[in-house]
Structure 1
Amino acid sequence: MATVAEMRERLRRPLAAELASGCADRVVSGGVEKLLASPLASPFPVVREALRGYAGLDAVRREQALKTALASLGGQEKEKAAPRPPLRQAVPTADPGERLPVDAEITRLDTGPGGARKLQALGLHALRDVLHAYPHRHEDRRALPDLSTVEEGQKVTVEGRVVSKARRTPRPNLLVFDVTLETPSGGRVRASWFNQPWVERHLKDGARLVLTGRVKKFGRSVQLGVEHLETVEDAQGSLSTGRIVGVYDSKDGISQEFLRRAAHRALQAAPFDDYLPAHWRQKYGLTDLADALWGIHFPTDEGHLERATNRLRFDEYLFLELRVLLQGEDAVLLGKRFQATGEDIARFETALPFSFTNAQRRVLLEITDDMRSERQMARLVQGDVGSGKTAVAACALYLAVRDGYQGALMAPTEILARQHYTNLIGYLSKLDVRVGLLIGAMTPKVKLEMQTRIAEGDVDVVVGTQALIQENVRFDNLGLAVVDEEHRFGVMQRRRLLAGRPDVLVMSATPIPRSLALTAYGDLELSIIDELPPGRTPVETKLIQDTHRQQAYGFVMRQIREGRQAFVVTALIEENENLEALAATQLADDLKVILPEARINLLHGKMSAAEKEYVMDRFRAGEFDVLVSTTVIEVGVDVPNATVMVIENAERFGLSQLHQLRGRVGRGSAQSYCVLIAGEHSKKTRQRLKIIEGSTDGFVIAEADLKLRGPGEIRGTRQSGIPDLRLGDLSSDVEIIERARELAKHILAHDPRLEHPRLQYLRSELQNRSQSVAFREVI
């Protein structure tokens, strides 16, 4: 049998651990009150009395109760009798009212026993981290006087007086404690707790309570499943009730009450040096930083929360734009200066077999304005499939050649590079512009010959893949670089092509929402070709379930009999080229059974570049009817006679990717069709795919894709450089992004390295928000 001394030590250890962990009532299995009900606590009535109703206490009162209990057990005296030398010098916490530097370690903030350790477990190591760890949502816990209008399942806060109590056990192992509360308006609500016996001991008749929970309605009666309880006395000045309350990201053992208290103490200690001067705040209608941070954590009302969110969201985008704009060697680079005369533009258009659309003319004017400037052009040209981006780029390349410079066009794949090469010869050969091709599939001898011609200036415009940025490629006088589908290249790859500071034109046939373009391509000006050439017939799109596949392929066969061709695309099941090739091969074999009259061939990622090019050349020449492919053909493949695109398991693709695939047909004058075959039949999937069925506008589709999937899914967050936004929403923040970008460009135009003393706080904040050490060295 254990001695009293042994029982004291067995009781002391879990209570000391509970105190050290921040009083969250999670250290002891079943809670502290279950421990007190065990025989272990019987010899210590002072401890049981000190900790009575422990689960219902707030963190501060729990801490006081534990210290009293441990003192009665001799715990504190024991520590004093045998002090351990600290392993390292303890950092003193700040005195009440003392201001701390924003980069002060979290140990300087008085957050109670074990508080710093809990914050560090959430990745919060400095005062600034706590200040900017915003709540992910807010709950209105201001007391409602009347519950008659609330809805089932709604979370509400009520205040009232206890008029009756009752306990019941509707089934074994379930204890329900009910309290009837009378609200100030005279209404009544029943509050219920499940398997929490401490509540019955803690609550007295007539007690004034503030309760938060979800509503259940039974006829006219209202029941509240309680999630948070405070007495009116405790609620005076409470951070968790009687106000709009923030709810934070957390983990087990770290309570919301603790996080609110930590945020409150951080705000009390913060210096609030505002990095935005008053005149900028006034121009953009922004509140000051102190008001914003108090308002995001502890808003006084809805207006305060809105004001705070607006300022802090603006700051997120401002620092994002500053970071993107500063990623070059300098904020503003000197580039080439071209004549870009109207006569040369007219000469180029005269050589075309068509006239520019109004949208092409508008974008070309924006490009030529940049080319005439001494500043380096850095412009993104967006346009849907078939909008004529390549013709506009060809005109810009012609203007560069007319002034004695070379031009380069870099494409992400050899198939696309060859296609651009063919198109540029068509546009430029009549104008005596020498066009060359440089790709990895060339023999070493042919490649060396082309590299020599480039270095000696015997080629005016070079089209190629990443072969253009190899170390042994030297341009004689590169003036304009066109990069197609830039997001498929790394940042450093693009930099190597731009080492001589040519003007830069980036083209994208992947429609990108304006908000995403302004952030992911923040270092580029934006031009949009939003008009298709006349005579193009929109592709008809039909969504069907896989149970109707036979009908889809019957339609394909009818098109083949009329002399047309078809693409059939299979989804990438996972990031595995072997499985991808297997899936495509299996589909091709299946179609040979379903379509015995059709000539069928195959294209997939395991093929070499030469094999892919051979298959595509044969398909363009009409040597077979159906090309079964993976997403290799997503970008740039041009086969005018192909009028049908069938996409198997369409639900596995994003909307923008489906739109790109659909753009592979409709390249000629004949009516074209896209059939989406859905293997999943859920309502959510059908609603998503209906967006593609109902719209041919790539920008509308891209906006829908952004709302559904987020920016990381569309371009790859790490690749685009967009950090996780805490408050920003790229699907709806275009206006605020444009305002933030305007200010960022204004700041860097006047002070490219943020060296003015007035900008020291802005510079410091930018450095701290930047994730990369390499970037910090830029400024």
Structure 2
Amino acid sequence: MMEKDPRASQDPLAWPVTFLPGVGPRRARALESLGIRSIGDLLYHYPFRYEDLRLRRPEEWEDGRRVAVEGTVAGKPRVSRGGRVPVVAVPMDVQGIRIHAVWFRQAYVLERLTRYQRWRLVGRWQAARRSLVVEHMEPVTEGGPHHSAHAGRIVPVYQTSGDLHAKWLRTWIASALKEAEPHLVDPLPWRWRAKLGLMDKAEALREIHFPRDWERLGRARERLVYEECLRFQLPLQYARWRQKSRRAPALRLTRREWEAFLAALPFSPTEGQRRVLREVAEEIAGHAPMRRLILGDVGSGKTVIAAAVLFAAAMSGGQGVLLAPTEILAEQHARILSRWFAGFSFPVWLLTGGTGRAERTRYFADISAGRPGILVGTHAVLGDVPYSALRAAVCDEQQRFGVVQRMALLRPNESIHLLSMSATPIPRTLAMALFGDVDVSFLPARAETLGRRVTRWLPLDREEEVVLELRQRLSRGERAYVVAPAIGRPGEQPESKKDVLSLFDWFREQLAGFAVGLLHGRMSSGEKERVMRAFAEGAVQALVATTVVEVGVDVPEATMMVIYHAERFGLSQLHQLRGRIGRSGQDAVCFVLTGPLTDIARQRIEAFQAVNDGYLLAKKDLELRGPGEWAGLAQSGWPDFALFDPIRDEIWMRRAKHHAHHFVQSREFWLLPEFASLRAGLAPPAVGEGVH
């Protein structure tokens, strides 16, 4: 009895690659090193670039460039030896001209070349010698058009591995398309495709791999990018819709109470802050739980927005909590809020690892009794705090916390309002992709709080100018940061100036008479807190550190930043570091010292020196690095996009977000079979849950 062919019952995309001609166990292992195990994996292994090898007239051939030609063998091939290398040459007639086709180290082609036979060749054109150095050859069969995956067309170029030839990949992908195409089910209903003017899935896969022209390639890419974005946005918009169906406490304040809040501030909010305050006030006044992320450039004044949410919670008779990543930052927030809200009846509690037992007991008694107030702290606020009237939570520097930690803020009550804040500048489109399940507000820097920041770019061998400037500023009572890209090891020589330990020893000598501190990630939390506190209070005047100072407390006296080997940092990280200085209106200077530079590193430093806007720099950083290197921003939440580019494909992510928001609330989406693939993995809503 014959064994049943698995292809009769399986999804064709799940068939193993060994079903394809020419793929045996050894080549299957080579494909597996690229993450390719099935036909579906192979079809979604997209080209990373294309080469235009369509047949062109001889006058269009460019010297030294690869071209594709089709011609007839016009004479007897000859073999010679250039040293020990066999060289085969044969005259060929191509579109009315005589050229010589040349093969190096391929003597076996002699047996294949016969007079009057037609061949399609790909190689590098040498105009002076009228010769083509052949890299690929294939015969042209008589009768009917000649279809090739390798020449005479726009040819896809794929990532390969080891001895896995690009030609093999193209051949196997062509076979995979032929096998799978009749069985492919398009996840997008035809009505939806027609509305958006999109190709069907089978045509898009065919054109992304073997495009007939550049226009069809563009349309195929758009179709597949849209599907990627839609599949990414659907679970986010579904989670957001389900979350908004919960009932949250409405934090409605009177006009007089909001005016009292604004009057308590020691400054007048900027127009940007007022805009975001209006957005937040409107949202927390409703019964749907707020989930909002504030992306603020350095010096943008995000604390005002956090204070408004916490103020509304306390004035509404409830409690608010603010989570900060360090004790120093928590203490700073507590001092600011206590000062601003001194004239109101609710308290501001500070809870950190250093909070005494008596204070902790007193705080917990008030919180357990439901007393309105604001709790500020570190991870301690995620512990056994007996919340009884929690209305709102704020997560400061949210990029410093994992998803689990941020969600722990909701453990006492998932229906509370949650505001997250980040100082990491992210391009708007990328932010929308990363945080598609929340509303995002952008805050520009408060220009009136920032002094004139000058960025100076010097080679490492001119650091004596930096030391001179540093001594002058420290003599005036100002403070400075010196940042290194690595920690290093004790006892290493300081020649490279790449590690913080060597730099610390060197600057202690150069800044004799001034207090120099050391800060890096290998120090204990207690040690880091003590050093930062000493720097904030002035006991340390110059702080030599790694990027642990990238996000930290405000030190108004800090007016100078020195960044060693700035070429090793991304633009957004450089901008974050520069944002540590000049925060009290004083003029400040940021020195970037660089070693040898690549072209991209040079462009990065030039942009950093010229631009102070964090969002423009973030966009430039993304353009230079490519979206793959931004994965760290998502803290393991960045999706595995194959084609989507945050800059190029902004419109498709916006459309997908809007469409996903519509779908999850649509009765058609949940009931019609044509949406089955898109809704896979989403739990259907309960009866009466708001679909229409």
Q: 1:558 to 1:275 in 2, by over 3 A?
A: same
Do residues 570 (structure 1) and 484 (structure 2) align? yes
Which of residues 96, 120, 124 in structure 2 aligns to 1:210? 120
* AA in 2 matched with 1:474: P
Q: Which residue in the other structure is 1:224 paired with?
A: 132
TM-score w.r.t. the length of structure 1 is 0.79
Q: In 1, distance between residues paired with 2:233 and 2:483? A: 38
- How far apart, CA to CA, are the structure 1 residues paired with 2:514 and 2:14? 72
Higher RCO (CA-CA < 8 Å; seq separation 6+)? 2
Counterpart secondary structure, 2:350: strand
1:543 maps to a residue whose letter is W
Does 2:473 align with 1:559? yes
Residue 200 (structure 2) aligns with: 288
**Secondary structure of 1:498's partner?**
coil
Deviation for aligned residue 1:374: 2.3
Deviations 1:138-162 (A, max 9, x none): 232321122x343344222111222
Amino acid at match of 2:57: P
Name the CA distance, whole Å, in 1 between partners of 2:502 and 2:36: 51
RMSD: 3.1
Shift of 1:232: 1.5
The one-letter code of the counterpart of 2:482 is: V
What residue number does 1:376 align with? 289
1:144 equivalent in structure 2: 56
Q: Which structure would you say has the larger Rg? A: 1
**Cα–Cα, structure 1 residues 457 and 710, in superposed 2: closer, same or farther, change >3 Å?**
farther
**CA distance in structure 1 between the partners assigned to 2:187 and 2:306 by the alignment:** 41
Contact kept? 2:154, 2:212, Cα under 8 Å: yes
Q: Does 1:430 align with 2:343?
A: yes
The answer for the alignment partner of 1:51 in structure 2 is: none
* Deviation (angstroms), 1:559: 1.5
Cα distance in 2 between the residues matched to 1:753 and 1:322: 11
**Does the Cα contact within 8 Å between 2:434 and 2:634 map onto a contact in 1?**
no
Q: Structure 1 counterpart of 2:637, which letter?
A: G
Post-superposition offset of 1:306: 1.0
Amino acid at match of 1:552: V
Q: Which runs of 5+ in 1 are unaligned?
A: 1-84, 768-779
Aligned equivalents of 2:654 and 2:491: distance in 1?
Answer: 44
Match of 1:661 in 2: 577
**Amino acid in the other structure paired with 2:92:** L
Residue 492 of structure 1 corresponds to 404
Contact 2:89 2:100 in 1 (8 A): yes
Map of 2:689 onto structure 1: none
Structure 2 CA distance, aligned partners of 1:442 and 1:589? 35
The answer to whether the 8 Å contact 1:324/1:523 transfers is yes
Establish whether residue 193 from structure 1 lines up as the match of residue 103 from structure 2: yes
Q: Aligned partners of 1:314, 1:296: CA distance in 2, in Å?
A: 14
| SS of residue paired to 2:472 | helix
SS at match of 1:417: helix
Q: Which amino acid aligns with 1:408?
A: V
Higher alpha-carbon deviation: 355-364 or 171-180: 171-180
The amino acid across from 2:645 in the alignment is D
Q: Match for residue 708 of structure 1?
A: 624
Q: Deviations over 1:355-378 (max 9, x none)?
A: 111111111122122212322211
Give the distance between the partners of 2:442 and 2:133, measured in 1 at CA.
54
1:346 to 253, 259, 265: 259
Q: Is 2:394 the counterpart of 1:482?
A: yes
Take 2:225 and 2:122, find their aligned partners in 1: how far apart are those partners? Answer: 29
How do 1:364-763 and structure 2 match up within 5 A?
364-458=277-371, 460-470=373-383, 472-499=384-411, 500-501=413-414, 502-534=416-448, 536-573=450-487, 583-682=499-598, 684-711=600-627, 713-714=629-630, 716=632, 719-750=635-666, 754=670, 756-763=672-679
In the comparison of the two structures, how many residue pairs are matched?
671
Aligned residue among 200, 220, 240 for 1:308: 220
Change (3 A) 1:537 1:605: same
Deviation at 1:207, TM superposition (A): 1.9
Would you say 1:241 and 2:145 are equivalent positions?
no
Match of 1:92 in 2: 5
What is the Cα deviation at residue 585 of structure 1? 4.0
* Aligned position for 1:79: none
Q: Is the 8 A contact 1:174 1:194 kept in 2?
A: yes
* Conserved 8 A contact 1:516-1:730: yes
* 1:436/1:459 contact within 8 Å kept: no
Q: Distance in 1 between matches of 2:281 and 2:427?
A: 24
Look up the equivalent residue of 1:180 and give its one-letter code. P
Query: 3-state SS of the aligned residue for 1:412?
Result: coil
- CA gap of 1:104–1:462, structure 2 versus 1, over 3 A, is same
Mapped partners of 1:766, 1:125: distance in 2: 27
Q: Is the contact between residue 711 and residue 717 of structure 1 (CA under 8 Å) also seen in structure 2?
A: no
Name the amino acid aligned to 1:393: A
- Give the structure-2-normalised TM-score: 0.89
Residue 361 (1) aligns with residue 274 (2): yes
User: Structure 1 residue 277: deviation in Å?
Assistant: 2.1
Q: Is the 8 A contact 1:717 1:723 kept in 2?
A: no
Tell me which residue corresponds to 2:686.
none
* Displacement after TM superposition at 1:662 (Å): 0.8
Return the alpha-carbon distance in structure 2 between the equivalents of residues 495 and 755 of structure 1: 32
Contact 1:381 1:526 in 2 (8 A): yes
